[in-house]
Structure 1
Amino acid sequence: MKLKWLLVGALAALGMAVGGFQAVFTVSDTPEITTVRGAQVDTELKCYHNPTPEALDDAGRLNVLVWNIYKQNKDNLLSELTERSQDRQLVLLQEASLDDQFLDWLQRSEWGSNQVSAFKAFDVSSGVLNLSRAMPKVACANLQVEPWLQLPKSGLYAEYKLSNGQTLIALNLHSVNFTLGTQEYKQQLDSFKQVLESHSGPLLIAGDFNSWSESRMEVLKNVLRNYRINEVKFTPDHRKRFVTGLPLDHIFYRGMTLEATSTPESDASDHNPMLAEFVLSQ
């Protein structure tokens, strides 16, 4: 009898936990992408398309900011994001929550944006988000479910017109974190393989790769080796590191000349931002 009531209690606790989880988090069966341009906010399934793209770069220069912004949990995040991004043409954010305050900031700014909704917490979407001075030709959402938490991590594939006639493919990625091995980690990276391998122009692959183990770093480098890609090196290097000493955030690039880098220390997030400046080939 005692065992019976213990089992009943355990099942009841599990049911409450699952019910509470479902009350807080909502996950869409199909990846969604939300585009904000001024007062206009549109949410579409899978991909955004722009029939009249303009060149993203500024006279052959492309300045990039990559930053995990910790769901805007710090009061000074938006003021620092404004400052850090003022001379950038492209900003790749991870853990961006499209709450009222952030949406208001977006609509008052000169940025266009695309966000992939990994999940919604209390009806507020969270995921990777691109800010760009010129909207992409196409931007597509990608999700990979965390096997333990059953909440997805998001990726955003975007194609931007460049002034030299080429197209930049930018991949903004927040990699799965809690896994026993590297199978799901590799699956997420491989999900972009077909479109990346077929592209002959500039590439930018960046974000929070949760590369906290040597095995994850090996998988990451093996996958990216197929794209003949370079990694941005930072000196000094203030990127967030795991207890293993390995950095979690990276910028990889191809088909552009790297001119300047920095990782300024910040208390506006639990990660420090990464900045890189590129020059396009003529």
Structure 2
Amino acid sequence: MVPYLIPQMEKVLMKIGEAVSPPFPPSEFSIFVWNVYKGQKAHIFSRDFSKLGYGKDFILLQEALVGEDKMPTIWKKDFAAYEWHLAQSFQYKKDQSSTGVAIGSPYAPKAVDFIRAKTKEMFWLTPKLTLFNEYDFNGTKVLFVCTHVLNFVTIGAFTGSLYEIAEKISHFNGPVVLAGDFNTWNLKRFMVMKSIFRDLKLEHLDLQDDGRFLKLDHVFVRGFDVLDARVHHTVVSSDHFPLEIKLKWTPPGEPSKIILP
């Protein structure tokens, strides 16, 4: 018997909390990206998540887990000023908890949408989702995209899922942050990913302190100067290392650039 349920499309999105900050962030802001492994290493996960996520303007999660005594407990305790949006991949029948991709921020989005990959994972037959949060910062529209890309599928299905994401981004003309777990566990997947998003003028960030053997998690940006981009490679409370990015608005008409220490 299948131990999970896949929600109907109209029930995929979930909101937790209310944003309390001003309508737009300062000229420089921070982003935290992490596949949190459903918080399975609970004895150390809560500590690391609260410490590393503290003060970040945007938190993008993959494999977030929402249910009784799950991540919302941490969110409400240590991130009470944040508004969280979750796109649910599936729901466990046993305890009704849901897992998927999430974006948390003290700034409220003007629009929230998602896409569900047309192909499901082999064996488990679960879907992968991409969450799109659009913000209006003092008249400038900014798109934050949090994704968890297909893993156990053919290269054709993998490529097709990236084109689905790219097609939706292509309709947005402003600054973009695209981040998440892309499951690029071989060179072909990595090169396909870079090629598809390069065509949208999205810049792939090389990360400092990158001690990863497999580079599965990535960040792309458009319309920002990059002040810092690093991997917290000593954190072991997930099977993925968290990423931390600091960005600055690019003046209109100027190309974005990397300004790393």
Counterpart AA for 1:186: T
- The partner residue of 1:184 within 151, 157, 167 is 157
Aligned-residue CA RMSD (Å): 2.0
Counterpart AA for 2:15: T
Q: Does 1:115 align with 2:90?
A: no
**Partner residue, 2:104:** 131
**Partner residue, 2:54:** 86
How many Å separate the matches in 1 of 2:171 and 2:91? 33
- The partner residue of 1:37 within 14, 17, 23 is 17
Q: Does 1:65 align with 2:32?
A: yes
Q: Which runs of 4+ in 1 moved over 6 A?
A: none
Which aligned pairs between 1:98-113 and structure 2 lie closer than 5 A? Answer: 98-101=66-69, 102-108=71-77, 109-113=80-84
Counterpart AA for 1:235: Q
How many Å separate the matches in 2 of 1:71 and 1:175? 16
Note closer, same or farther for the CA distance 1:218–1:262 as it changes in structure 2 (3 Å cut): closer
Residue 116 (structure 1) shift? 0.7
- The partner residue of 2:130 within 155, 159, 179 is 155
Residue 271 (structure 1) shift? 0.9
Which aligned pairs between 1:4-83 and structure 2 lie closer than 5 A? Answer: 19=1, 21=2, 24-30=3-9, 32-37=12-17, 55-57=23-25, 59-74=26-41, 75-83=43-51
When normalised by structure 2's length, the TM-score is 0.86
How many Å separate the matches in 2 of 1:271 and 1:193? 24
Q: Does 1:173 align with 2:144?
A: no
- The partner residue of 1:255 within 198, 206, 223 is 223
| % identical equivalent positions | 22
Counterpart AA for 1:273: P
Structure 1: tracts of 5 or more residues without a match: 1-18, 39-49
How many Å separate the matches in 2 of 1:262 and 1:193? 24
Task: Judge conservation of contact 1:205–1:252 (CA < 8 Å) in 2.
Answer: yes
**Partner residue, 1:229:** 202
Q: Does 1:219 align with 2:187?
A: no
Aligned residues: 241
Computing the radius of gyration from Cα coordinates, the structure with the larger value is 1
How many Å separate the matches in 2 of 1:136 and 1:119? 24
Task: Judge conservation of contact 1:80–1:268 (CA < 8 Å) in 2.
Answer: yes
Residue 128 (structure 1) shift? 0.6
**Partner residue, 1:279:** 248
Counting helix residues as a fraction of each chain, which structure ranks higher?
Answer: 1
Counterpart AA for 2:50: T
